[in-house]
Structure formats: structure tokens, C-alpha cells
Amino acid sequence: MASLRHSTPKVSAFQMYTRNKKLADVPERKVVQAKPVTEKAKTKKSNLDVKATSLRKRKVDIVEIVNGTASDDQVVKAKRGRKKKVVQEEIPVVKNSHSDDEQELEAEEVENESEKAEEDDVSFCFKQSTSPDISVSRRQTVACGNEAAEEAFRWLLSPTKPEVFFAKKWEKKPFLIKRSNSNYYKGLYSVKEFEKTVDEHFLNYNSEIDVVAYVDGERKPLINDKRVFSSYLWAAFKEGYSIRMRNPQAYSKALGSLCSLLQEYFSSFVGANMYLTPADTQGFPPHYDDIDAFILQIEGKKLWKLYTPSEKDMLARVSSPDLCEDDIGEPYMEVELNPGDMLYFPRGYIHQAKAAPGMHSMHITLSTNQLNTWGDFLEHALTNAIEDATENDIEFRKSIPKDYLNYMGRIYSDTDSKERRDFQKTASSLIEKTLQYVSVDYAADAHGISFIHGSMPPDFSEKEKAHSVHGNGASFNDGRVLVSPELSPEIKIRLIRRRAFNLVVDVDEAKLFHTMYNTKNHKEKEVNYIEVDLDTVPAIVALFKAHPDYVQIKDLPHENRQVLMACLQQLYDNGFLMTEEPLPFDED
């Protein structure tokens, strides 16, 4: 029988990941007292009493959309009898700090096949296509292996096409989409859902909830070591304090589903923060972040200022401390976000935001690409290369000269001596040798383990549940136990999600890392994996390469069918596989 064991990770790629894990666990951005600005602005205390009102129930909410349970009739409803129209993405006037003249960014026009969604319409649907005319080649062009994830990102950018976004904006410059549709994000999140989360869960200050104001150029946090109560939050909110909730996707079905899909699209953790700001106030000082940000305006209006980063801060790998307004210059961009609008800006762009007068603001920040750079990737490769070189080449294991501190170090960088030249020559030679041991595949394994560890658990569609043990497993019904039959060689199977797994094969062992048992709190537990028999690796590799297509079990490469069937049965029983057709129940 195949060996499928849960055990403590030992593979070298995993060791490499855990060794560098401290770099990935970046602490919260330090709070540094900002210098007072030249003209101190008086903070206006808002008397706005936020009372979350229940919204009229829409016919299909975003949870149904994300899970793909909206009916086809509902999905196409918006398209019937409607003409194609041109939607122009509004590009704001830009103030260039290097010029006294105002410049206007080039406007882009994108055709949108559906008009503004009415309150009860469905304008998007995150689900995999089941149409028989979708060819194998079309399905395999979906890079992440999940059409629902691709659709989720298209919805996020609509009406802009992803290929246009990545060619012109991604990691280059801020990008604004004005939709003139206040219901675009309806069902994603709301003040009412936030208040319900606070009342129903034991949340803590400084880890899940921050209460803060930006007054006279300084961040003013409220310190509280007690449990979060909504009454306290609303009292502080009435006094002009903003509320930030970290990781709201852990408590929100719709937001959690969206983040789960987008992380598959980016192959990088996608997190979220919620910001609730009283009218005419600002919660946070100017700063820049180490993530690419997608700002989704949910309620109210917010005024944003963005500033051009320096070359060294562009695509920043570490977030900044709080910055002084006197030091950041004139804004590169000033925009007002209304409900339904979306603003993107890359890592390193300094930004600050203030709620518009007379109206509170709620927005969601979706974040991705933290520590997901070529530098982070190559760090895995080079660290492993040095270890391999040291193990295989005696020159790396020889000791350095005992008197090296007499001529090496920055204080000697302006001197010249034979000892210094010899030392540098030896170091350069070893560095050149190290490159012979670099394996980018090894680095991909280690970086992939980091992605798996930080990911949210998959949020399965209704079809995925019906074709797997997640919704079609053994059950107890009317006094009878219903069980699915075991897999047979004629059944067609596939990995339930390609981005939920990373197979790492070493010389004498193979491990299948997965997100199936992850919690919704980022890296709350150790990374999950199972060990698989090396004899079954070719079959599992074949499933990876065939995804999203199904493969008949008898066509999978194997030397011992009994070993293979036992391994696949356990993978299916653990929820890793789904079948092309739901397995019928047998009465026990």
C-alpha cells in the first residue's frame, strides 16, 4: 500500500524556507513621531453617528457569485437588449513637482459590454466555465489553473483588460477607475458586517483593530488592552478617530472568497485591511508600503494624495515610517474616490487619504506582492548554492586568513596592499564558483513553500464540493450512513486546485505541500504537507501538468497499480482530488 504520512518537514527546500522565514515575517511598520507641519490643520471632530443600516437584499449576493452558484439566467440578464458602450477611465489632473505646469495623464477608453449594474443585477460571475465549446487549449491558457480566479481579477479591474493593466500600469504608476456605480461592491463588505464581526468575535486591539487619528502632523493612537467592543469604537469614531481592521477576510465569506481567488491569480498572498474614517478627518500620516495596493471604495468618499517615490523607494521591499508632510513635496496625483471606484498604486508610492466633508468613508485595501520579488527569489537560490558549494568543494571549507581584520573592512576600503588584493581575488573566485551551484528550480520550490504557507485555505465552488469529499463525502441521513465508492481505474480525476499544492521532490523523499488545512490568519500555523511514495510521484506530476483537465486514473504513469490506487484514494479522502463526475453514494 502507498505510504502517505504526515510528519515533520525535513526536505532541504523547506529548511531553506524556514531559515529565511524571519525575512518574510515583516513586523508592523514602526511608528515614528512626525515633525509638525508648517501650517497646522485643526482636526475637525465629526458628529456623524454611524448607524449601519440594512441594505435591501439583492437577488444574488457576492457569496453566490464567488462560489459560482448564481444561475446562468441571472448572469446573462444584464446583457439582454443592451448596446455596447464605451466607458472612459477617468484620469485625474496631475501636479508635477518638477514643473509649474499641470499635466493630464493620457486617458484610456475601454469597451464594456454591459451597462452599469442595477441594484439587483449581476454584472460579474466568478466561476469556471462549463461550456462544452471551451477547448482544452483555451482552458490551459489560464495561468493559475482556475478560471474563477481569472474572472475575479477581471471583475476587480473592469472595464480595463488585465493585459492592458499589466502592460501599462502594474509596478509602474498609479491607476484610477471611476465607475459611476455605487453598487459595484455591494455585498462585498459594509459597516453593518464590520459591526457584526466586532460583536460576535473576540477581537484585540493592535493585532486586529487599530483606533487612530492624524492630528497636527502626528499619529495619535488610542491605547486599549481590553477586548474590542463596538460601543467603545463608535464613541471614539464620533470623536474623530479612524478604525482599521486587519484581516477582515478571516470573518467575511465574500471578502475571504475574493482574497482566496486572487491569491491563486497572483501566486502571492492577498490580504485585506478595512478603513473606516469619520467625515473630514484623516487617520494615518503619509507613508509608503511594501505591498501593491488595490483600494476599493465601499461607502462614502475619500480624498487621496499620492507622491512620486524616489528611485530607491520605488517598489519598496520594506514599508516606511510615518513621514513629515514638509519632506514629501507636492502630490503627483490627487483623486476623490466614490463608492464603486478603484485605485491601484505600486509599492513605494507615498500616500495619504482623508474622508470628504460631511460623509464618513469606508474602503478596503487589497494587498499583494509582499516579499515576492526577484531579490527574494534569488536569496533562496544563492543561499542554497553556497551551502552546496561548501559541501562539495574543499576550497569553501578552508579558513579565512587569521589577520584579515588588519586589512579588510570598510575602514580599509581606500587602501591597497598585497594581502587585501589576494583576499579579494580569492573571494571573487569563490563567488564565481558559487554560481555553478545555483538552481532556480530549487529556489522556486523554496519560494513556493513560502506561498503555500502564507495562503488562505481554498474557498471551494459548489461544483468542486459536489465532485469531492468537501460536499460529496460520507454522510448520515435518516438513520443511514451514505458513503461514496472507492476510486476505480476508469474514473477521471484532477487536483481540486493547482495553486493549493506544491510538490517538492528530493533525492530520497517527496512532499506535497498544501493549503487545505491553513487557517484564515496569515501563517498562524506551521506549513502543511504530506509525504508521498516516490513510486507515485510520476502520477502526481502528470496531474499537475494536465490541470485543469481531468485524467483517467488508468492512464496515469505507474509501476504498481495497487500502490498508485491506494495513494490516490487517500489523496481523494483528504480532499485533494475531485472527480469529473460526482461519485454516487452507496448505503452502508
> Is the confidence at residue 80, as pLDDT, over 50?
no
b/e per residue 514-548 (b: at least 16 CB within 10 A): bbbebebebbeeebbbbbbbebbbebbeebeebbb
pLDDT (0 to 100) of residue 141: 54
CATH of the structural domain 460-579, one choice from 3.90.930.40, 3.40.50.1240, 3.40.50.150, 1.20.1250.20: 3.90.930.40
pLDDT (0 to 100) of residue 17: 61
> Is the confidence at residue 45, as pLDDT, over 50?
no
Concatenating the DSSP letter of every residue in 192-225 gives HHHHHHHHHS--BBTTTEEEEEEETTEEEEPP--
Q: Which residues contact 201 (CB under 8 A, 6 or more apart)?
A: 251
Distance in angstroms (rounded) separating the CA atoms of residues 366 and 386: 37
Q: Which residues contact 54 (CB under 8 A, 6 or more apart)?
A: 192
- What are the sequence ranges of the domains in the chain? 124-370, 375-441, 460-579
> Is the confidence at residue 495, as pLDDT, over 80?
yes
Q: How many CB atoms lie within 10 A of CB 425?
A: 10
Mean of pLDDT over the chain: 81
Across 494-512, average pLDDT: 95
Give just the sign of the alpha carbon dihedral 338, 208, 64, 294.
Answer: positive
Q: Of the candidates 209, 251, 250, 256, which has an alpha carbon nearest to the alpha carbon of residue 230?
A: 209
Q: Who wins on pLDDT, 584 or 311? A: 311
Q: Contact, 444 vs 437, CB < 8 A? A: no
Q: Of the candidates 324, 302, 269, which has an alpha carbon nearest to the alpha carbon of residue 36?
A: 324
> Beta strand pairing status for 586-587 and 480-483?
antiparallel
pLDDT digits (tens, 9 = 90+) for 169-180: 999 999 999 999
Q: Which residues contact 266 (CB under 8 A, 6 or more apart)?
A: 368, 369, 372
Distance in angstroms (rounded) separating the CA atoms of residues 243 and 277: 7
pLDDT (0 to 100) of residue 324: 95
pLDDT (0 to 100) of residue 574: 94
pLDDT digits (tens, 9 = 90+) for 378-428: 999 999 999 999 999 999 999 999 999 999 999 999 999 999 999 999 999
Q: Which residues contact 469 (CB under 8 A, 6 or more apart)?
A: 484, 572, 573, 574, 575
Grouping H, G, I as helix, E, B as strand and the rest as coil, residue 492 is strand
Band the pLDDT of 39: cuts 50, 70, 90.
very low
Calculate the CA dihedral of residues 491, 492, 496, 498 and round it to 10 degrees. 140
pLDDT (0 to 100) of residue 7: 34
pLDDT (0 to 100) of residue 224: 84
> Is the confidence at residue 564, as pLDDT, over 70?
yes
Instruction: Tell me the residue type at 358.
Output: G
pLDDT (0 to 100) of residue 479: 77
pLDDT (0 to 100) of residue 485: 79
> Is the confidence at residue 66, as pLDDT, over 90?
no
pLDDT (0 to 100) of residue 477: 76
Q: Of the candidates 70, 487, 517, 62, which has an alpha carbon nearest to the alpha carbon of residue 252?
A: 62
> Is the confidence at residue 230, as pLDDT, over 80?
yes
69-73, 425-429, 544-548, 561-565: least confident range: 69-73
Q: Which residues contact 452 (CB under 8 A, 6 or more apart)?
A: 500, 501, 502, 513, 514, 515, 527, 528
> Is the confidence at residue 36, as pLDDT, over 60?
no
> Is the confidence at residue 520, as pLDDT, over 80?
yes
pLDDT digits (tens, 9 = 90+) for 232-272: 999 999 999 999 999 999 999 999 999 999 999 999 999 99
Band the pLDDT of 351: cuts 50, 70, 90.
very high
Distance in angstroms (rounded) separating the CA atoms of residues 341 and 363: 10
Distance in angstroms (rounded) separating the CA atoms of residues 419 and 407: 7
Band the pLDDT of 478: cuts 50, 70, 90.
confident
pLDDT (0 to 100) of residue 296: 98
Q: Which cell is 535 given? A: 513510486
pLDDT (0 to 100) of residue 469: 93
3-state secondary structure labels for all residues of 263-294: HHHHCCCCEEEEEEECCCCCCCCCECCCCEEE
Across 200-227, average pLDDT: 93
Distance in angstroms (rounded) separating the CA atoms of residues 400 and 440: 29
Q: Who wins on pLDDT, 158 or 481? A: 158
CATH T-level topology, domain 375-441 = Arc Repressor Mutant, subunit A (1.10.10)
Distance in angstroms (rounded) separating the CA atoms of residues 17 and 4: 23
Class of domain 124-370: mainly beta
Distance in angstroms (rounded) separating the CA atoms of residues 487 and 568: 8
pLDDT digits (tens, 9 = 90+) for 138-183: 344 567 778 899 999 999 999 999 999 999 999 999 999 999 999 9
pLDDT (0 to 100) of residue 369: 96
Location of C-alpha cell 448520515: 476
- Share above pLDDT 90 across residues of the chain, in percent, rounded to a whole number: 70
What single DSSP character describes residue 247?
-
Q: Which cell is 204 given? A: 484585540
Across 134-140, average pLDDT: 40
35-44, 333-342, 490-499: least confident range: 35-44
pLDDT (0 to 100) of residue 14: 59
pLDDT (0 to 100) of residue 42: 37
pLDDT (0 to 100) of residue 125: 40
Strands in 65-208 per DSSP E: 85-89, 93-95, 102-104, 108-112, 175-177
pTM of the model: 0.79
> Is the confidence at residue 64, as pLDDT, over 70?
no
pLDDT digits (tens, 9 = 90+) for 8-35: 333 356 565 665 665 445 444 433 333 3
Instruction: Tell me the residue type at 500.
Output: A
pLDDT digits (tens, 9 = 90+) for 90-101: 443 333 333 333
pLDDT (0 to 100) of residue 59: 31
**CA distances from residue 10 to 14, 444, 505, 563 in whole angstroms, order as listed:** 7, 17, 12, 24
pLDDT (0 to 100) of residue 16: 56
Q: How many CB atoms lie within 10 A of CB 98?
A: 8
Q: Of the candidates 157, 179, 181, 176, which has an alpha carbon nearest to the alpha carbon of residue 107?
A: 176
> Is the confidence at residue 107, as pLDDT, over 80?
no
